Amino acid sequence: MDRLSRLAVLLLAIYTTITVADQPEQTVFGLPGAEQDSGKWYKFNSPIKRVAVIGAGPAGIQAAATFVEHNFTVRLFDRAPGPGGNWLYSDEIPVREPYPDAPVNEEPWLPERIPATKYYNDRDDDLTLDHRWREHWQPRSIWNSLHTNSPAVITELKQAPYPPDHSWVISAHTIGAHVRAFASIHKLNANDESSVHSYSTRVEKLSKGQDGNGWTLTLKNLKKLEEPARLKATWWTEDFDAVFVATGPYTSPHVPEIDGLQEWTNVHAVDSEEESRFSVYHSRVYRRPERYTGKNVLVVGVGTSGSEIARDIAPLANKVYASHKKYDWDKLHPFQRRSFNRFPVETEFIPEISHFEPLPSLDNGIKDGKIVLVNGTILTNIDEIILATGYKRTNPFHRSALNETFDVEADAPPSDVFTGFALKNVHWTGHFIPDPTLAFTTVRPWTLGEYQYYGQAKVWEGTAHLPNEKELWAQYNSTRYNYFRGLFGTGPSEAIVRQYVTWLNNESLENGGRLVGPWPVQNREVFAYYANQEWEGSYISKDNFTRFENLPANQWTQKDIWDISVFEDEFW
Ligand SMILES: Cc1cc2nc3c(=O)[nH]c(=O)nc-3n(C[C@H](O)[C@H](O)[C@H](O)COP(=O)(O)OP(=O)(O)OC[C@H]3O[C@@H](n4cnc5c(N)ncnc54)[C@H](O)[C@@H]3O)c2cc1C
Ligand SMILES: *[C@@H]1O[C@H](CO)[C@@H](O)[C@H](O)[C@H]1NC(C)=O
Ligand SMILES: *[C@@H]1O[C@H](CO)[C@@H](O)[C@H](O)[C@H]1NC(C)=O
Ligand SMILES: *[C@@H]1O[C@H](CO)[C@@H](O)[C@H](O)[C@H]1NC(C)=O
Ligand SMILES: *[C@@H]1O[C@H](CO)[C@@H](O)[C@H](O)[C@H]1NC(C)=O
Ligand SMILES: *[C@@H]1O[C@H](CO)[C@@H](O)[C@H](O)[C@H]1NC(C)=O
Ligand SMILES: *[C@@H]1O[C@H](CO)[C@@H](O)[C@H](O)[C@H]1NC(C)=O
């Protein structure tokens, strides 16, 4: 080779090095399988065969059905006696909420040696059987007249469609039956013979398998026995290669810490037939309006529960007050505005409570007590207080396994972003980082659930890939808030649907599996129409705001509806 040629080769080599180095690394997606891509994908230490699903609400029941279809050995656990999750209505009420709030990570009591069996008689350790039963399964927070705040089109599992003449807004009873119908189709209902599901079975503990792979669940089943009436508790463990957690977004009630409230919560209602009836309750025990007949009721909190319960009791109550924090109308989420407007016209809105004065006597209910508001006004003559102060997500069973890496509460968003189901350290596919043998539901189960749980099945069976750990974190960082916009209570965001469809179909074309279509565009249209009719047109209109001063000039517009339901992000 002459000098010139050598120089040319050298220059070419330098040029090639530079261009190669300049090539941006393909970070987000690429096709799996290519040689140079090994290391780009997350690799499981061992094959995944046994999968546990915790929770049989709309999320868990769909996930369990999907995992069964994919030939995993599936076990589905729910503390409740049947499927339905939040929508399993009962006249039973939960054990009264603690004051103040219980810590979010309180671990349940376990016998020293497991497996174990224990029989409980009525009043053992001063607890009734009824109390133990309700503590175990935790009756749901829904009331008899509850109707959805989400139209049917985004609150439907499509394998068990509602009848064609259903109303736009469906009752909680109908939704419960709907989820049970879905369960029956998949032989997962309480009366189906199957080795898959165990109802009345609560997961008490989640721990990492002995060899660092897989998971061990500690379980507790409670069974009612008759003659004599007893409860039989059984504890045992089961091992799994992967675990899917769908314990719901509203696991525990939240009560406010207001000076003096604690004392008021101990006071029995004077004119109630039930000896154990108190005057202060969290909204989750609310079932029917009758007991509020002729009463003066203070509702604390002006969210969805507060406004809907106020509507339910207003026709019977003597007076309904609603206490709210100071707010800036402009900065309220559309749902919060909607809630304000759902309050019955009879409601008297009052400022936040400063404190509850000590009661003059503990025998006369709370009627003589003084409630001091932040503006100095004193409210008296209240018969009943309903704390519609919301929920928090607790997950006592996995705290011990995950330590500080997983904060059980929903990922805290910047204040102007509403994230819904987003969880800390959880990738947009629902997989826990850094150990994707654990997965969560992080999407609206009714709409995006079918994509997310299919993706989890594919990842665990090896027909779809997750990127390596570094890339999982990078994607998490860039998507942790914005991907979830529009998922809570509204239709799925266009961006995340496309993200799922493209990812799943790319993977299926390479590695096998069925293809998926987009979320039906006609559903999106129906939902948008609903949002305009029911939220903007009817609830969010200038005419409905006469109670509020300072109505902002820029009202919630159609554009805003689309801003929350369709969020286009930088990837697309
Ligand atoms: C009052 C109220 C009104 C609502 N209204 C609407 C509405 O109008 N529209 C809407 O879309 N959504 C509404 N929701 C939200 C509702 O949570 C969702 O619709 C949906 O039920 C969420 O499904 P999920 O499967 O994720 O959780 P859930 O339905 O909550 O199911 C979780 C399941 O996990 C089980 N579980 C929990 N811990 C354990 C454990 N340790 N071991 C075993 N099992 C366990 C529970 O028993 C439960 O069955 C409402 C919620 C409340 C509280
Ligand atoms: C599950 O197993 C059956 C029977 O072997 C098979 O026909 C089916 O394709 C499998 N399903 C999946 C999703 O792999
Ligand atoms: C305080 O709030 C109450 C209830 O809304 C109202 O009646 C009263 O006028 C307010 N007092 C002051 C000083 O603003
Ligand atoms: C949690 O902490 C315990 C003890 O501090 C430790 O043994 C365990 O490995 C930790 N688990 C995880 C998942 O970090
Ligand atoms: C993700 O963000 C955190 C800070 O929030 C940062 O410490 C971390 O390095 C980021 N990781 C990646 C892979 O971008
Ligand atoms: C899908 O595959 C194509 C190549 O066939 C690629 O260009 C694209 O980036 C992939 N998209 C996703 C989301 O994986
Ligand atoms: C709000 O006002 C509109 C008229 O602009 C009316 O049709 C609607 O019924 C009102 N909604 C409520 C909840 O009062």
- What is the per-residue pLDDT for 254? 85
Q: Give the pLDDT band of residue 418 (cuts 50, 70, 90).
A: very low
Q: Read out DSSP for 482-494?
A: GGGTT-SSSPPPH
Name the pTM for this structure: 0.86
Give per-residue pLDDT as tens, 194-224.
999 999 999 999 998 888 889 999 999 999 9
Q: For residues 373 and 354, is the Cβ–Cβ distance under 8 A?
A: yes
Ligand 6 centroid distance, CA of 517 (Å): 16
Q: Distances from the Cα of 152 to the Cαs of 167, 446, 447, in angstroms?
A: 8, 10, 11
Q: Is 555 in the pocket of ligand 7 (CB under 6 A)?
A: no
Beta strands 319-323 and 242-245 are unpaired
Q: For residues 432 and 440, is the Cβ–Cβ distance under 8 A?
A: yes
Q: Is 438 in the pocket of ligand 4 (CB under 6 A)?
A: no
What is the rounded average pLDDT of the residues 503-523? 91
Q: Is 56 in the pocket of ligand 1 (CB under 6 A)?
A: yes
Ligand 6 centroid distance, CA of 507 (Å): 9
Site residues for ligand 5, CB cut-off 6 Å: 470, 473-474, 477
What is the rounded average pLDDT of the residues 186-190? 98
Here the tokens at position 21 are: 């180095």
Atom of ligand 4 nearest to the CA of 208: 13
The amino acid present at 210, given as its one-letter code, is Q
What's the rounded Cα separation, in Å, for the pair 230 and 92?
18
Q: Return the C-alpha torsion angle 306, 312, 313, 316, nearest 10.
A: 160
The amino acid present at 252, given as its one-letter code, is S
- What is the per-residue pLDDT for 572? 14
* Lowest pLDDT segment from 254-268, 358-372, 486-500, 515-529: 486-500
**Type and span of the H or E element at 237:** strand 230-240
Q: Give the pLDDT band of residue 403 (cuts 50, 70, 90).
A: low
Q: Is 70 in the pocket of ligand 2 (CB under 6 A)?
A: yes
Q: For residues 83 and 190, is the Cβ–Cβ distance under 8 A?
A: yes
Ligand 3 centroid distance, CA of 238 (Å): 59
Atom of ligand 7 nearest to the CA of 542: 5
Atom of ligand 2 nearest to the CA of 513: 13
What's the rounded Cα separation, in Å, for the pair 279 and 356?
14
What is the rounded average pLDDT of the residues 422-440? 87
Give per-residue pLDDT as tens, 305-359.
999 999 999 999 999 999 998 888 877 766 677 788 889 999 999 999 999 999 9
Site residues for ligand 3, CB cut-off 6 Å: 350-351, 373, 375-377
Q: Give the pLDDT band of residue 13 (cuts 50, 70, 90).
A: very low
Domains of the chain, earliest start first? 50-251+393-566 (3.50.50.60), 255-389 (3.50.50.60)
How many other CB atoms sit within 10 Å of the CB of residue 520? 11
- What is the per-residue pLDDT for 130? 97
Q: Which of 37, 459, 502 to mutate to test the pocket of ligand 6 (most atoms within 8 A of CB)?
A: 502
Residue 105: pLDDT over 90: no
Q: Whose CA is nearest to atom 7 of ligand 6?
A: 30
How many other CB atoms sit within 10 Å of the CB of residue 21? 7
Ligand with an atom nearest the CA of residue 252: 1
